Amino acid sequence: RISQVPSSAFSPSHLDCTLATPLSPTLKFGVTLFPLVQTSLKSSFITERMHSLAASWHVELDSFKAQAPHGPVDFANVVATLDPAATWRLVLACHYDSKYFPHDRHGQAFVGASDSAVPCAMLLELVTALDRELLEAKEQVSRTGSGVTLQLLFFDGEEAFKDWSATDSLYGSRHLAERLATSLHRSGTRMLEHLSLFVLLDLLGARQPMFQNHFPETANWFQRLLGIEKRLHRLGLLQSHPQEQLYFQRDSFYSHVEDDHVPFLRKGVPILHLIATPFPEVWHTMRDTEENLHPPTVENLCRILAAFLAEYLWL
């Protein structure tokens, strides 16, 4: 169903939207000494952007307080659901916090462009570019009273404040997974059981990232992404893309990186982890800035994911 993705969905003007409008505020508010301020500024931006769309998303803040190594901290996940009444949910997720580092000797702050401003910008760009199609899909699901809808999860508190551990990391995803495991869908079953697929984006934006399939249970969906990359290459719709199989690798790697998917994985949710492996060279360095991103790669990944959404949601 790639033909049903709007041909202009990721034109240069839309790429500017991805790398300028949503990304710059995300970068601007990337890190602060005050996590609550960071959370309120960035979550407000995401919420306002989602509310501006014609598809009328249901957006809520999953706010909570958790104990961190230096004391209690306020967190807020952003949960955006296209149609809360739908039976199934395809989840696209990322984290919007980033690692705290002190300013360097030149006064530069750590930005975290690939970790994780770009994944956030990509999710916002996808639902903006496909706004009309998602609205039509929502209306179709509402008429039938069943079907699958799209849900976006923007996690807070992915990074450790001190040393990565079971209690100092993944604050937002651990909290939301527990909440969904105890809250009920209108059918009377646990909300967590209605997540048909959980797709997590992380460490994106560098040139030619490589993705491997980490979970045999979702190998068919990974192969779908691999096939989409090939088809878009053959159609000449990918830039700076010298070969048809560049990003999604055939070789499987059945070992996972600790990330926001883990609390959901442990509760039986099917996971597709789209994290660049090996990690970008700029990971957790002061060079993880907007200047070191590769815009054609970001646009290519947006196109691939748009086609994936079109196939999964029958747009």
Q: Which two tokens stand for residue 165?
A: 């551990």
Q: Residue 252 pairs with which residues in a beta bridge? A: 213
Distance CA 61, CA 294 (A): 31
Exposure on the CB side of residue 116, measured as CA atoms within 13 A = 27
Distance CA 137, CA 127 (A): 12
The residue annotated as part of the active site, out of 83, 97, 159, 202, is 202
Q: Which of 18, 13, 38 is nearest to 28 (CA)?
A: 38
Q: Which two tokens stand for residue 263?
A: 């609390």
158: annotated active-site residue: yes
Q: Are 107 and 132 in contact (CB under 8 A)?
A: no
131: annotated active-site residue: no
The residue annotated as part of the active site, out of 83, 158, 229, 299, is 158
The catalytic residue positions are 158, 202
